[in-house]
Structure 1
């Protein structure tokens, strides 16, 4: 398997056509087709449905996209480290709540590395209150946190996206998981508030640190979960079903917060762009893999900083 074939797969996903992907990577369309055929032969799966126009990625190809992006990003990072940091590169200490760190944040870090080769990003997970304290003290350069975020004189806040909170149950269980405890990620007020809209008998709410533990308990029928849609793995385990909540107000907005004097303006702009673009792409992939659940995708927010 060669790196060029993986780069071509990503280029076709971005552009939607073999011809445009060829222009992006500097190869002819026949060469593109040959590379994809070779990759399919090596993997033993078809990556594109060629019976439709334009060609469409198969489920197997969509499942590969995130790992492929990570591989290509790591190789680009190694090249950047070998050649030394370019002007404007540096270190970025970025905090995030677990539901953001488990979802689209890794892809955003890779995208930022492509925009600013040589920038080294250290990601720190914490709850919202801890992240805000770390940004205020200067221990973190920036953090991705759920709102509401109060404006301040020393801290800038930029809205990133608004997404639905969804209910997760075991595929074979009752629709609402009646009587089971509600599992939420720690430190997210929107998730705790959404738990009150499930109706029925009062049930315990359990706050956990790990998204993987939450999904494992749901799959075994030991609880139902409330998670932001962007935190869901793609594809979702077959043992877990996504169900919309009846209250359309069950959403959360993610914000980027950083000290006014903590980030260079160009780095702040590129970080916001990488976060928004990656979140929107992930939302589109989740929408494409959804099976029967009428759950709206995340909505990027483009308001000005406050």
Structure 2
């Protein structure tokens, strides 16, 4: 009896686990099979879930980093640099910039600018590997003091992108706009800084001095009162208030402010001195007013 032979087609099922291809890429790198390593990473990216694409894109950039020089690296990074900046920590993004540098990319500034990434990252990444928030604040302050305002503002935008907006970033923006004589913008950021729970006394004091420099005494008094609402015993704010009250010839109110200081700091020398000085002036003015009244009568 003859057996009937049935033809069968056997197909190989391709593994779609992206991590498998990352492992293969690492193995190829060890063997210096760079083309195969890059091809394996293309597969990893292809098979990765949409919400994890950036993770595997960065893995491929790390392969380029390991290779050193590769003609395709710049084009690949340029295609994905915007999403990588948003996805990566600043420390890892510095690695992306280093790959561009290693491959002698001549237009890194243009690449960053086109993708709305702060160009100042080129400067600060080359100056320091420290990506902490405090280091970025130092860079921003340096640029501000050097009147490199564009770099300072871009540095602050990096802080806000990679960390978050806070008192320091708002205050630095306010100072930059103040120095550029853009007073409305400065006031806007001063207000934002003061509105945050972590705003310290120094924030309110700086705002008060800003208004005094603009000869806006009413604005200064308003911010003194805001500061005292949060820090009722701050001596600098209290003394600033007494000075402004005296300029407005509100001697009785000024003396009451000094009395409030002396109620909890009875030996406060400055308050004692000013109270004596203001009392003498107040008495002198009162006597002068009474003399005028008598002459009129």
Q: TM-score range by the shorter chain?
A: under 0.3
Relative contact order (C-alpha < 8 Å, sep 6+): which is higher? 1
Query: Which structure has greater strand proportion?
Result: 1
Which structure has the highest helix share of the two?
Answer: 2
Greater Rg, structure 1 or structure 2? Answer: 2
Q: TM-score, normalised by structure 2?
A: 0.25
